[in-house]
Amino acid sequence: MKLFADISIKNKFFFSIMTVILIISVAIAFLARWMLISTLTTELEIRGIALASSIADSSSGYILEKNYPQLLTLIYDVQQVSERKHLVAYIFITDPENKVISHTFTQPFPEQLRVANSIPPEQPQSIKLLHIGKKTAYDVALPIREGIYRIGTVHVGLYKSHIDTLMDQLRFMFLGFILLIIVIVFLISHKLAMYITRPISKLIRISNELSRGNFDIQLDNIIEGWKPMDCPAYGNPDLPCKLIEETESSSGDKTEQATRNLLACKQCVFYGRRKGDEVVQLANSFQNMIWRIKPYPQQLKETEEKYRSLFDSGPDPIFVVDRNSLEIVDANPRAFELYGYLKEDLIGKSILDLGPKTDKDYLSYFKEDEDAQGCVYYPKVIQYGEDQKPFFVNVHACAISYKDKPAIIIEATDITDLIEKDAQLIQASKMKSLGEMSAGIAHEINQPLNAIKLGSEFLEMMATENLDVPQNEFLRVVNEISNQVDRAADIINTLRAFGRKDSLIKDELDLNKPIKGAVSTVGKQLELENINIKLDLSEQISPILGYDNRLQQVFLNLVTNARDAITKRNKKEGRKDGGTITIKSYQYGNKVFAEVQDNGIGIPQSVMDKIFEPFFTTKEAGQGMGLGLAITYGIVEDHNGDIKIYSKEGEGTTFILSFSEAV
């Protein structure tokens, strides 16, 4: 079977037809042979019987008379008559005692013949195939009767070779006939196979050319009389055809929408069904296919060049990263420039080596789910250049397939300048806060200074006037002075910590810490303004990732805002005290929350959506830049946190901040 599958279609046709013809021929030959042989044998037997009975009729007299020479003459005559001598092998007559009384043999009578074919009783005759020497003959035995007596038996031997000769002739004729048919079948199958295989061979040749990338082959005459130029839309801009137009316009910048608007004829000469058998249909559709794909390699090349130039001249670094190994597979010149690596150093490097180990959130999206598609955006990711200098980028990462492998394309926009400006703005806002706080701070520092001054004046006076200071009073004064110095130093440390610029990397920290820091900075001042600060801080909250200093700035801004809101309400309602700021911290799920609540004037609904906008302020000109809440929002966003406001005019405002716990 395997052998059959491997041979060509032409031979398949030939061998198939041949096999069928041979099987039929052999069957017919055997059938014909059987019919002929039986017919001829019967004929021979009938002739033998007829011959034998005529001899029996004519010979009975001679036998009764015992005239044996006459009898011999008779059987010789019968045997030798014309062509009969070729047919009759011998004739012999036996008497009832089975003794040969006459025979036609020229040589001595073969004794075995006498008993070879005896007529069984109740049978009119007996026929038997006998071998005499080298020949084969049918022996027909017939009794010779006179009245009711049997007086002898006549045996006529008929050559079987007579039949064999006929059969040989017949066989010869038959074989010749079959040979003739085979030749005809071979010619027909060859012709038929050629008709089918010639276009297929041609298609195979063209396919091979195409797979070698040669799209310039001439294919106008796979099928005769078929040409794309026959289409009325060919090269005709007035007939926009989506099927043929593309082949003419090599420009790939046609928009998808425009392509969709193109039409095809109802009776398309190009793609319509052509007359002809399956081979013609196949060749036709093959040619259409080639016609369609012929312009694509060129378009592909142009597109590749176009995108390559976009990639190369992109203003931001772009990396192509293998999704499994996270190795950089490709990068554009801007990436080399910004990161300071040589191309050969950067390609093959792991993308993880370009940033600190902690900052890999944007890749986890692709790691968690192997099949994750789409894009992720992560702002303010730290990266290190070749000189290990840190800088900030906004990262856009999308899953793509690059050279048939899953990959991630990462675009990193350098935002270091922006971050620096941001830091400057935050710093400026801090300095502004410090300025606002200066009166309160002066008061704060004046308190211990005052006590110290009084204590030292007391000691000085006692010393200059030579008065005795009781031991306990002396100790008390000196201790108190020391305590007050510590207190002043604490205040200064808090201020210095607040004024310091943050490090670039977030640390794990307890959210209560910046809250306490902010409260310790302004708490006393608020107390002097008769504003109550209630702290309801949970000790069970998880740490978050953040900048202590900036969060302190957030809480300071929120508390200052709350203070202003309370002062406004007091002024409006003429009340003296009753202002309360409540600060809570708590955890819910994997989020850590902080709430700053006041019972101040509240925020009107009309400005609610504006309060985080930069330069929006309800304060009088000169009172504030309107940057406080904008900066607060920016800082919270930097921490991937969220800020929500609930406010009712005349009743108060609650800011709720939420942060993800550090993992």
**For another protein, the closer CB: 19 or 446:** 446
**For another protein, the closer CB: 258 or 439:** 439
Q: Shortest gap between Cβ of 577 and another protein (angstroms)?
A: 8
Helices (H), 465-547: 471-499, 512-528
What DSSP designation does 415 have? -
What DSSP designation does 327 have? B
**For another protein, the closer CB: 263 or 475:** 475
Return contacts of 621-627, CB within 8 angstroms, 24+ apart.
625/432, 627/425, 627/429
**For another protein, the closer CB: 523 or 641:** 523
Q: Shortest gap between Cβ of 439 and another protein (angstroms)?
A: 8
Q: What is the rounded distance in angstroms from the CA atom of residue 347 to the CA atom of residue 229?
A: 49
**For another protein, the closer CB: 337 or 527:** 527
Which two three-digit tokens encode residue 156?
């006529």
Q: Shortest gap between Cβ of 314 and another protein (angstroms)?
A: 59
Q: Which residues contact 620 (CB under 8 A, 6 or more apart)?
A: none
What DSSP designation does 234 have? T
Q: Shortest gap between Cβ of 622 and another protein (angstroms)?
A: 18
**For another protein, the closer CB: 132 or 454:** 454
Q: Residue 311 burial (CB < 10 Å; 0-12/13-18/19+)?
A: middle
Element (DSSP H or E) covering residue 101: strand 100-103
**For another protein, the closer CB: 87 or 452:** 452
Query: End-to-end CA distance of the chain, in Å?
Result: 67
What DSSP designation does 90 have? E
In a 3-state reduction of DSSP, which class is residue 470? coil
Return contacts of 112-119, CB within 8 angstroms, 24+ apart.
113/139, 113/155, 117/141, 117/155, 118/153, 119/143, 119/153
Which two three-digit tokens encode residue 543?
């740490």
| CA distance readout (Å), 418 to 462, 494, 495, 543 | 62, 28, 26, 28
Helix axes 416-464 and 548-573, enclosed angle (nearest 10): 70
Among 659, 656, 619, 617, residue whose Cα is nearest residue 637: 659
Q: What is the rounded distance in angstroms from the CA atom of residue 433 to the CA atom of residue 553?
A: 9
**For another protein, the closer CB: 143 or 455:** 455
**What pairs with residue 159 in β-bridges?**
137
Among 48, 81, 80, residue whose Cα is nearest residue 156: 48
Q: Shortest gap between Cβ of 580 and another protein (angstroms)?
A: 14
Q: Shortest gap between Cβ of 461 and another protein (angstroms)?
A: 6
Q: What is the rounded distance in angstroms from the CA atom of residue 129 to the CA atom of residue 227?
A: 78
Q: What is the rounded distance in angstroms from the CA atom of residue 228 to the CA atom of residue 234?
A: 7
Number of Cβ atoms within 10 Å of the Cβ of 270: 22
**For another protein, the closer CB: 132 or 459:** 459
Among 593, 585, 618, residue whose Cα is nearest residue 603: 618
**For another protein, the closer CB: 245 or 444:** 444
Q: Shortest gap between Cβ of 466 and another protein (angstroms)?
A: 12
Q: Shortest gap between Cβ of 492 and another protein (angstroms)?
A: 16
**For another protein, the closer CB: 243 or 441:** 441
Q: Shortest gap between Cβ of 478 and another protein (angstroms)?
A: 11
**What pairs with residue 398 in β-bridges?**
375, 409
Q: Which residues bind another protein (CB under 8 A)?
A: 439, 442-443, 446-455, 457-458, 460-462, 467, 473, 476-477, 480, 483-484, 527-528, 530, 577
Spatial contact of 463 and 586, defined as CB atoms under 8 Å apart: no
**For another protein, the closer CB: 39 or 446:** 446
Q: What is the rounded distance in angstroms from the CA atom of residue 41 to the CA atom of residue 163?
A: 8
| CA distance readout (Å), 162 to 34, 92, 135, 168 | 16, 20, 11, 10
**For another protein, the closer CB: 183 or 439:** 439
Rg for the chain, CA atoms, rounded: 61
Q: Which amino acid is located at 284 in the chain? A: N
Q: Shortest gap between Cβ of 529 and another protein (angstroms)?
A: 8
Q: Shortest gap between Cβ of 563 and another protein (angstroms)?
A: 14
Spatial contact of 100 and 109, defined as CB atoms under 8 Å apart: yes
Q: Shortest gap between Cβ of 473 and another protein (angstroms)?
A: 6
**For another protein, the closer CB: 135 or 443:** 443
| Residue the block writes with tokens 């943050």 | 502
**For another protein, the closer CB: 180 or 528:** 528
Q: Shortest gap between Cβ of 398 and another protein (angstroms)?
A: 59
**For another protein, the closer CB: 455 or 514:** 455
Q: Shortest gap between Cβ of 527 and another protein (angstroms)?
A: 5
Q: Shortest gap between Cβ of 459 and another protein (angstroms)?
A: 9
Q: Shortest gap between Cβ of 475 and another protein (angstroms)?
A: 12
Q: Which residues contact 119 (CB under 8 A, 6 or more apart)?
A: 125, 126, 141, 142, 143, 153
In a 3-state reduction of DSSP, which class is residue 541? coil
